[in-house]
Chain A
Amino acid sequence: MGDIVVLLKPALNPEMIRGTPEGSVDFDYMPLKLSDIDRNAVEEAVRIRDQYLKGSKIYSISVATWGPVAKRDKDIKMAVQEGLAKGVDEAYIVEDDLITPGDQVTTASAIVAVLRKFNIKPDIILAGEATIDGFSGQVAGRVAAKLDLPYVSFARKIDIKGNTLVAERDVEDYVEVVEAPLPAVVSVTREINSPRPPTLIQIRMASRKPQHVVKLSDLSDVVTPKKKLSAARVLAVKRKQVMIEGKTLEETADKLIDALVSEGVIKA
């Protein structure tokens, strides 16, 4: 029986955004965390194993795209550990300053290189529909093409019938039910499940599961980044932040209405 692979990205946490005095993103300050939708992907991996592929192993693969590795190592391990606590059996982490800051070309080629090097032959590869930092949703499709596997994107429901994956794809205007032969690559939306937080025992067990750190020199055919990030600036939307208070709710309402009238957005 084949195994399950889930792609987990240690992503920059947008809630912790901070700018430099010049308005650039202060990357050094921003911590990494497991990208939110990847949590749904792990949850789905565990469900699929328990329901359809009993006895198969769940591997996770993470490629560190934000460096320097020495500084980010703790955050990266924390994100990976979360996957292990939720049910991943063994984790692979590609961590190398030669590929940071990374891009999607690098990430996808490194993922494929890990699969080849460690001879992992999954029945299904799961990923989140997009990551919370880049939000471009292209790594899973790249991996599928490189492995010449069918790709099902934006799945919000997955069933497996024998050797066939049946999924509901969430497209803008419609929902599409598709059937793909396994092995396949699937990206999932947040709506596919509600991730359960790991139990204390699971968290404790996670530290004993294998984590393999892989360097660029261990792999072949990894393409180094093509994208040059020339600048990233914090989007400063200046809002007035005026708090409105009255002695009664009526007074508060009237003050708010007065403000809206003087702004010219309503006429009273």
Chain B
Amino acid sequence: MASSLVVGGSEDDIAEALTIARQLGSVHIVAYGNVNAASLAEYGHIVYHIAQDDPESIFKAVKEIYDQVKPSLVVALTSKNLKDALSRLAGLYDLPMATEVFNVKLSGDQVSYTRGFLSGRALEDDVVPLPAVLLLAARKTPKAQKSQSKGDVKELTVTPSIKVVERRPKERGGVNIEAAEIIVSVGRGFRSKDDLKLAFDLAEVLNAQIGCSRPVAADLKWLSEDHWVGLSGHKVAPKLYMAIGISGAPQHLAGITDAKLVVAINNDKSAPIFKNCDYGVVADLYQFVPVLTKRLRERLHK
């Protein structure tokens, strides 16, 4: 009988992957790190748990179970550590693997899916033979229900060759940009960190969260990474997205395809963002943003 293997480090992620996995007969779960294995057992499948959560340990644990079970599908949610761990499994056995997939359909000995392509400017539909490794796009699959019967929990131990010396949590700006209703987003058009005050003032009037392009968070480090919007940052879906001093590179646009309304403010009338916005203003942000903030304050709060 066909079977599948679910891998994850949190109950929510595992419950999403289970929805796909259960279409393929018996399911085995490999759970890692600080996850409640007893709670996972309530889904009714065997749970293998390892305490470590570094990619090499995850790879070794998954390989051990893969070799025993020989599943048709390995399924998990997309994350950096799982891209690392599962690309090794895929490489070892020449399995097809795809990341951030949705619309997963299993039929016979193959699986089809859709995913973003060309830095998010296109969608590809692929068909691959089983066995395969699929990393799902987050929050596009409903969570599986727990079941009546309880599965067993088994602890695994592995010894990785890579030593984790230190772990530092990243600085958090305390925003959840993915849930924001209005986003004022800043790019390289701002000449210094202090100048971001112009955007913060505007955001205050609009009751908006602050977003940013990759260089502002990654290279300049003016804002923490939870503000970073785009292909390699956060995908957002606000009702209003204001891109200020952002050129509109494909990798930035990939993060805002679900925004309802996009406004662009840029002093270069040929900036690509103007082809990808609903309303555009060609202006120097240093002159225009203070005026916009002032007029909004007068009109919204009078």
Residues 230-259 of B contacting A (Cβ, < 8 Å): 231-232, 239-240, 249-251, 253, 257
* Selected interface stretch from A47-55, A118-126, A138-146: A138-146
Is B277 touching A239 in the complex (CB atoms < 8 A)?
Answer: yes
Is B179 part of the binding interface, using a Cβ–Cβ cutoff of 8 Å? Answer: no
Stretch at the interface among B11-19, B83-91, B142-150: B83-91
With the chains together, A242 CA to B81 CA distance in Å? 42
Inter-chain contact B119/A178, CB cutoff 8 Å: no
Q: Does B169 contact A (CB under 8 A)?
A: yes
Q: Known interface pairs A191-B219, A240-B279. Does A133 touch B88 (Cβ–Cβ under 8 Å)? A: no
A22 within 8 A of B: no
* CB proximity to B under 8 Å, residues A236-257: 237, 239-245, 249-250, 252-254, 256-257
State whether A175 and B83 are in contact (beta carbons under 8 Å apart), knowing that A136-B99, A265-B182 are contacts in the complex. Answer: no
Whether B87 and A234, one on each chain, are in contact in the complex, defined by CB atoms closer than 8 angstroms, is no
From B219, which residue of chain A is reached at the shortest CB distance? Answer: A191
Which chain A positions have C-beta within 8 A of B125? Answer: 229-233
How near does chain A come to B270, taking the closest CB pair, in angstroms? Answer: 12
Across the two chains, which residue of chain A brings its CB closest to B162? A180
Decide if A239 touches B278 in the complex (CB within 8 Å): yes
B55 CB–A CB distance under 8 Å: yes
Out of B80, B86, B169, B240, which one reaches A154, CB within 8 Å?
Answer: B80
Q: Are B80 and A252 in contact (CB under 8 A)?
A: no
Among B88, B166, B240, point to the contact of A266 (Cβ < 8 A): B240
A190 sits at the interface (CB 8 A) = yes
The 8 A CB mask of A99-128 against B (1 = contact, 0 = none) is: 000011100110000000000000000000
- Tell me the A166-216 residues at the B interface (CB within 8 Å): 166, 170-181, 190-191
Known: A173-B169, A237-B257. A256 touches B292 (CB 8 A): yes
B167 surroundings in chain A (CB, below 8 A): 174-177
Q: Name A134's contact: one of B117, B218, B283 (CB within 8 Å).
A: B117
Instruction: Indicate with 1 or 0, residue by residue over B272-283, a CB within 8 angstroms of chain A CB atoms.
Output: 001111111111
- Contacts A25-B118, A260-B240 given: A228-B127 contact, CB under 8 Å? yes
| Minimum Cβ distance to chain A for residue B44 (Å) | 30
B96 on interface, CB distance cutoff 8 Å: yes
Whether A41 is near chain B, meaning CB under 8 Å from some CB there, is: no
Instruction: Give chain B's interface residue range (CB within 8 Å of chain A).
Output: 35 or more
Given the known inter-chain contacts A142-B91, A143-B91, A226-B128, please indicate yes or no for A268 contacting B122, CB distance below 8 A: no
Q: Give, as a whole number of angstroms, the nearest-CB distance from B253 to chain A.
A: 8
User: Count of chain A residues with Cβ under 8 Å from any Cβ of B?
Assistant: 79
For residue A162, give the distance in angstroms from its CB to the closest CB of chain B.
14
Residues of A with C-beta under 8 A to B239: 265
Q: Find out whether the CB atom of B129 lies under 8 angstroms from the CB atom of A135.
A: no
Query: Does B2 sit within 8 A of A, measured CB to CB?
Result: no
- The verdict on A17 contacting B122 (CB below 8 Å), with A175-B168, A223-B94 known, is yes
List the B side residues contacting A135 at CB < 8 Å. 99, 116-117, 119, 231
Q: Which 9 A-B pairs have the closest CB atoms?
A: A142-B91, A141-B87, A138-B87, A145-B91, A14-B119, A145-B88, A153-B84, A14-B118, A177-B166
Q: Apart from A239-B275, A259-B279, what 15 extra A-B contacts exist at CB < 8 Å?
A: A15-B249, A104-B90, A105-B90, A105-B95, A136-B99, A138-B87, A138-B99, A172-B79, A176-B166, A177-B168, A230-B126, A235-B257, A239-B276, A253-B288, A265-B261
The interface of chain B, by Cβ under 8 A from chain A, is 54-56, 59, 79-81, 83-92, 94-100, 112, 116-129, 161-170, 182, 206, 214, 218-219, 231-232, 239-240, 249-251, 253, 257, 260-263, 274-283, 287-288, 291-292, 294-296, 299-300
